[in-house]
Structures are given as C-alpha cells and as structure tokens.
A and B are shown apart, each in its own frame.
Chain A
Amino acid sequence: MAVVLVLVLIVVGSVLFHLLSPWWWTPIASNWDYIDNTIIISFWITGIVFAAVVLFMAYCVFRFRHREGNRAAYEPENKRLESWLMIVTAFGVTALLVPGLFVWSRFVTVPGDATAIEVVAQQWQWSFRLPGKDGKLGTSDTRDVTADNPLGVAPKDPNGQDDVLVQAADLHLPVGKPVKVLLRSIDVLHDFYIPEFRAKMDMIPGSVTYFWFTPTRTGTFQVLCAELCGQGHPLMHGVVVVDTEQDYLAWLGQQQTFAQLSAPQQSGSANQPPGKIIASNLGVAANSKLSRSAQ
C-alpha cells in the first residue's frame, strides 16, 4: 500500500514542485519567447501524460493488488484499445512537433536586415569583431593568427581593415536590432550561450557557424561557454551589454579597428595568449580579467 501512496505523492509532489519552486528560467531578453512558449506546451502535454500514467498505475496497484483468492484476467490482446492508444499518442506527438518545427523554421531563417557580427572563441576567452563603415566583415583564417593578429583577420582583405575588434572585453549591442552572430573558434569546440537570450550554438575550429536573435531589453548579460573546452571551461565567462542606440554608438566610437590595432606602434598590448594567463591562475583564483567581466 505504501507504493500506492508514494506513486500518488510523486505526481502531486512533482506538480507542486513545478508550480511553486523558485527555480525557473531567467527573464527573457530576446525575441525567442517562441521557444519559451514551445517549452510551456511541452510541459503541459508531457505533464498530463506523466500524471495520467502514474496515477493509473497507482490505481491498478490499489485495485488489483494480490489478495487471497484473486485471479488475474486472461486478455492477451485488445486490437481496438491498442489502435486507439497509438492514434492518441501520435496526435500528442504531432502537437509537440508542429509548433516546434514552426519555431525552428524561424530560428534558421535569418532576417535580411540582421547585422552580422562575429564572436571568436579560444581557450578560454571571448573576442568579438564588428563590421566597420563598409558594413562587411573581412575574411579570416586560423592560419593568419599571430601575436599581433589574434583573431586571424586576413591582413590583405580590404573589407577587414575597418572591422572593429573587441578583444577580451565586453561586447555591446543595440537594443531591438536583429543580429546574426557568426561563430568561430581558433582552437577547440566552444559554445556561445547567454541564458537570457535562450539561443546557443557551438563554434567549430575550421568552420563558421551562426544563429540570430534580436535583443529586446537593455541590460548586462553574462556569456557562458556551453561546450566542454578543457580545464578552463567553467571560467570562460564574457559579457554582452545591450544598450540603447545612443549608448551603443558612444561605445562603438571608442573601439579600435583592425587597421589601427595592426599598426606597428599599437602592438604589444593584450597579445599574450589568454590560455597561458588562465592556465597559470587556475585553481588559485579566477583570472582578474575574467572576474571583472563576470561582475
């Protein structure tokens, strides 16, 4: 009998936990509330199925538990019932899949007016590149990475000269403007993930991956790496600040371009490979640069 009670308690407890516990998603800051809605649909459908199956089981155990003289029924098959259950299940699965695929088609369709920006990951820090006045990002190649060109921007490509580089610092984005994030890594797999934006995507050395989103409110958001990238993985934080248009332009004006940074007199700063700094600090304390950006 304890089993019946526990089965019922599991259903009631799980539902109450879901409704009352303080652990829930962070307030959203992007256009992907579609995804949140799909999750809500999933919670409803799966929650109902879970409760129905477990409660029915509890009822069976209560009603058909062994007592002296009981004998089970003999019913090998019931085609009708089995067909009905299959149809209902297929219907439920479709109800999950259709909205899911609908939202996915939005996720993979980048709007034409999205600004392309680039995120470059390496063990264990984030850097960013924004298109300059020409609105185009120059090409890049891991083979072009040097101490003076840590992102590997093609030195000869005219499109790349005016690109704005944000190395090992915070990225700013204007609110309300769709962004296509191009993702690149120069060493191992990483994953650009901001919980408030809901979206994430792996970065693969040798490829450029992407996703898009529109920031919907201003604020400061923490970037996490979501793909295991070695022992510095949990410290690989970054910051994205979503600004009003004015604040964004003010920030942008202070940034330096690739051409400026490559000029000989500018070299020598921030060119130490970050992995080495972090590796030497691991286990003692987070690197100062990281803990500052983590706020």
Chain B
Amino acid sequence: MVDVTPADAVPPAEVGEVELYHPHSWWTKYVFSQDAKVIAVQYSATATAIGLVALVLSWLMRLQLGFPGTFDFITPEAYYQFITMHGMIMVIYLLTALFLGGFGNYLIPLMVGARDMVFPYVNMLSYWIYLLAVLVLVSSFFAPGGPTGAGWTLYPPQAIMSGTPGGQDWGIILMLSSLILFIVGFTMGGLNYVVTVLQGRTRGMTLMRLPLTVWGIFTATVMALLAFPALFVACVMMLLDRVLGTSFFMPAIVEMGEQLQHNGGSPILFQHLFWFFGHPEVYIVALPAFGIVSDLISTHARKNIFGYRMMVWAIIAIGALSFVVWAHHMYVSGMNPYFGFFFATTTLIIAVPTAIKVYNWVLTLWRGDIHLTIPMLFALAFIVTFVNGGLTGLFLGNVVVDVPLSDTMFVVAHFHMVMGVAPILVIFGAIYHWYPKVTGRMLDETLGRFHFWVTFVGAYLIFFPMHYLGLMGVPRRYAELTDMTIMTESARHLNSFISIMAFIVGFAQMVFLFNLIWSIRHGREAGGNPWRATTLEWQTPQTPPEHGNFGKELPIVYRWAYDYSVPGAKEDFIPQNVPGDFAPSREPA
C-alpha cells in the first residue's frame, strides 16, 4: 500500500483556523480548562482515583472468597455491595471514562492534527458532569443503607426490593442517578470526539491515514452514542418504578408474604435494554484497546501494522455486529429459547473479524525489529490474555455450552480476562508509551518492569484457574460457598490462592502509582519523540504540547501512520508530516 502524497498535491484546508479560547488565569488554565489535554488528564486522574476504590473493593471480596468466615465485617449484604460497586466502577467509571475521556481527549486532536476538540466548552462540561456522576456514586457509600448490592447488572425486580442492599434505601436511587449523569456527560464528550475526527483533521489526513488508535476510539464513541441511550431509558424507567411506583419492570410480586402494588411489568425487558447497551459496552472498551495496541506493536516492532485496511474494516465490522449479539448474555434468562439460534450465530461470526485482528498483530511482529520496551511487553501480554479470554467467549457464545457455564465462575474468569485484564494491560502499555509526551519525562524503567511482570503473570494466575471452578459448577455472586456439595477442599485452597495473587497484583499497582507521581519530577528527560514514532503527536514543537498543539502552522500529512523501516529511507521511521518518497526523517524539536 503505497500512499504518499507529493508535496504539491495536498489539498488546501477546507476550514480556516479558528481562534482558541485563551485562558486568563490559573483557574481557567488548569481547573476549568477547555484544553482537551488538560481535560484528558482530569478524566484520567478521576478515573484512576475511583478505580482505586474498585481495587480495594475487589480485595475485600477476595478476602471473603479466599478466607470465608474469617472477616466478620464482610456480611452477605456488604459482599454484594462490594461486587456491585466494583463491577460498575470498573466498566463505566474507569474503563469507559479512561479510554474515551482520557485517551480520546488527549490523542484525538493531536493524532488528527487539530488544535483542540471542535467544541472545547462542551468538552469541559463533559468532564465536570462526569465528576459529578462519580461523586454521586461515591456518596452512596455514605448514604443510609449503603450502596446498592444488586450486582452491576442491576436486574429488577430485586434491585429495587428490600431483600437487596440499598433496594429500598438510597443505594439504587443514587446508582441510577449517577449513571444518568454519566451518560449526559459522556454524550457531550462523545459528540466532540466524533465531530473532531470527521471535521477537524488537518490537511492530508484522510480517513485511511488515521492511526488505528483514532479508528478504535472513534468507532467506540459512535457505538457508545448509540448504546448508552438504551441504558439511559432503562435507568429512568427503573427510577420511576422505585420512586413513583410505576411498573415498567415490575410484575405482580409477593415479597415476604405481602402482595406488592406493582403489576404487569416485564423484568426481562430491562435485561434487553441493559444488554443492548451492555454488549456494545464490551467493545466500547475493547476497540480503543485494539487501536492503541496496534500502534504500540507497530511502533515498538519498527514495522508497519500488517493489513491496515483490513484492521480498519475489522474494527467497523466488530462495532456493527456487536449491536446484534446482546441476547447472548440472556441464553438462560428465560427468553424464547429459539432466539438462541440467532444470537449464537451472530456471536460466533464476530469471532472472525476479531481473530483477523489477532493474526495481524502477531504478523506485525513477524520479521519485525522487536524492541522489548515496556509498552511492547504490555502489548504482548495483551495478546495472550485477549486471545485466552476471547476463546472462552466462544464457549459462552455457543448457546448450549453457555447453559452449564452461565452464572458460574467461568463467566467471571472469562470477562475479567477479556475486558478486564486485557484492556487494562493496554492502558498500562499506553501510559508507559505516552507519558513522555504528557510530562516530558520517561517513567522509571525498573519499577515499570517490576509492575509489568507482577501484573501480567499475577493476573493470568488469578483468572486462568478460575475458569475451572466454574467448570465444576461453582456459581458466581455467592457471598459464601459453605454447605455446597460441589465445593471440594482443593477448590477452597484454589480460592485462597487466587485471593493471595489478587493482593499481590493489587500491590504492584501501588508501585505503578508511585512511579507515575515520582517520574513527573525525577524521570529521565524524554525529548520530543523518544520512541521514534511516526504519528503527529510526536511531531509537536513543544513537549508537553502547549495549548493549540502545533505552534504556528498545523502539520500537513503526506503519508499513512505506519512508515516504519521503509526500504531506502535512512531512518527506520518517516513521520506522517514528512513529504517525499524516501525522505530522510526530520528530528522533531
């Protein structure tokens, strides 16, 4: 694929330069900032902070599972609150916010060659509403009755009934309100990302020259804008059921011997709405990770990404298909069982474009010049965990195999491997990769390698054996596994082992946080382009880039994002803004 524009053939800009908002004070520069890069850091810091809460919650639940009965304060009630908040925080408030709000904000304008997002003010609002959503969520820990313990799927009727923690207290109300706020905030950011990619690209940056990171984030955002409304209405309807006594999801119910006032609603309608959002949500998290990891592998293997066009189409195909597979979460929900034929087929079809992506990552390594940097290590670890988790998805997607495995620890192991561990490994790799651009300094190498090895090996040791507990039939969401005939003594030991590994992996994250903070001042100076990468964010005149990103002149793009090791070129990379067929590369300032 030779895709180089001669220097004199780049089309003129369609839209002239727009004056950016210039901050007047420290407050408007760093707090109420309209600079996408500052907003990105705000999003990332908030997501990391709430993510730490989720990490501690996971420790608490592993204490209970690994050492049952040892910790009196972990009542069944508390356990369900822990798992619910852990799940919701990780999926929505950490992963979605960090990939789209964090990486999206930082990388989209820089990578497409724009000065900022197209609607900076709305972008700023997006963050502040997200922060409000997080605060409402956190407030439920201090509300009477505590947070909701309905499970992150919030299935009614139990989510709003008294047998569930927070069901008849504040917990569920605050959770639903927080989700509604999150979606409002996300929509403001999401519209920005989409319009910036479509309208804000610099001269010469055609869609088929975008780095795959941008393709991943862009497609995920489009999906999120289509999927979140389903969750939004589900939340509003459940809130009405809970507060005003409507019956959207509530049939006739006898609770503890008493007839409730509800009648005629459909609990399974909620599940359809939830998973119409929930399954695309998996890919909303996964597609940015796919995109980012493609760029990490290409850059650190000094080789063009293999099959770029196929990679783009695979991202789009996965995004589209993921809207017609949602009911594979509901094979044993009691929906019409004949749906199983359709949803199993669509679900397994999605494996084909996904497998193509895996092949192309590995084929990018083939005949590369692989630098085993920390971002590359995380990318390799991502492939291992993603392939592992993706393949167990073929078990669960294949309707009849799901029957025994559904609602067991197999499911827990599967989704943690594929949408927990794998995307988070990409996040780590991405942070080690772009931290030098954000701060101007490198993260510490020794601490980084320690962090990598403990996280990767530890996480694999946590989640690989867990599949086999599920195969035994051990159900998920059990606060205690006592009096259970299938639980053998050795299975209890395995649970203790998993818990100990979870504490160790959690500890390694503290080392990572220390590294993040310590290196801001003490890290090695990075220079403008420490990885010798081709994409535009590494070609900025300043590092960290200042407001407006590219100084006086916006870059002009002459080539795709993957001109690594071009035969005949002097250097093993040619930045996108360098004209000419085999031009010698230009050292950025």
Contacts and interface: CB of A to CB of B under 8 A. Distances in A.
Given A26-B473, A189-B158, A205-B157, 4 more contacts: A100-B400, A187-B158, A200-B404, A231-B163
B395 A205 contact: no
Contact of A233 (B1, B469, B477): B477
Contacts of B469: 23
B246 interface: no
A226 to B, nearest CB: 4
A143 B401 CA distance: 36
Given A76-B304, A228-B151, A38 B400 contact: yes
A258 interface: no
Interface string A72-103: 11111110011001100110010011001101
Interface string A30-61: 00101100110010011001100110110011
Does more than half of chain A's interface fall in helix, strand or loop, or is it mixed? mixed
A283 B69 CA distance: 10
Contact of B485 (A82, A222, A227): A222
Interface string B265-286: 1111000000000000000000
Contact of B334 (A6, A39, A147, A202): A202
Interface in A221-244: 221-222, 224-235, 237
Residue among B150, B362, B383 with the most chain A CB within 10 A?
Answer: B362
A74 B566 CA distance: 6
B412 interface: no
Contact of B80 (A65, A104, A147, A231): A231
B490 interface: yes
Residue among A22, A23, A141, A198 with the most chain B CB within 10 A?
Answer: A23
A114 interface: no
> Which of under 10, 10 to 19, 20 to 34, or 35 or more describes the interface residues of A?
35 or more
A170 interface: no
15 contacts: A26-B473, A57-B384, A66-B371, A66-B372, A72-B302, A73-B368, A75-B367, A77-B1, A145-B254, A152-B254, A195-B473, A199-B403, A207-B334, A225-B475, A230-B158
Given A93-B351, A187-B253, A205-B253, A22 B76 contact: no
A291 interface: yes
A295 interface: yes
A87 to B, nearest CB: 10
A100 B344 contact: yes
B514 interface: no
A74 B567 contact: yes
Given A14-B464, A97-B344, A65 B372 contact: yes
Interface string B338-353: 1011001100110110
B483 A143 contact: no
A7 interface: yes
Contacts of A17: 464-465, 468
Contacts of B387: 49-50, 53-54
A61 B76 contact: no
Interface in B113-168: 149-151, 155, 157-158, 161, 163-165, 167
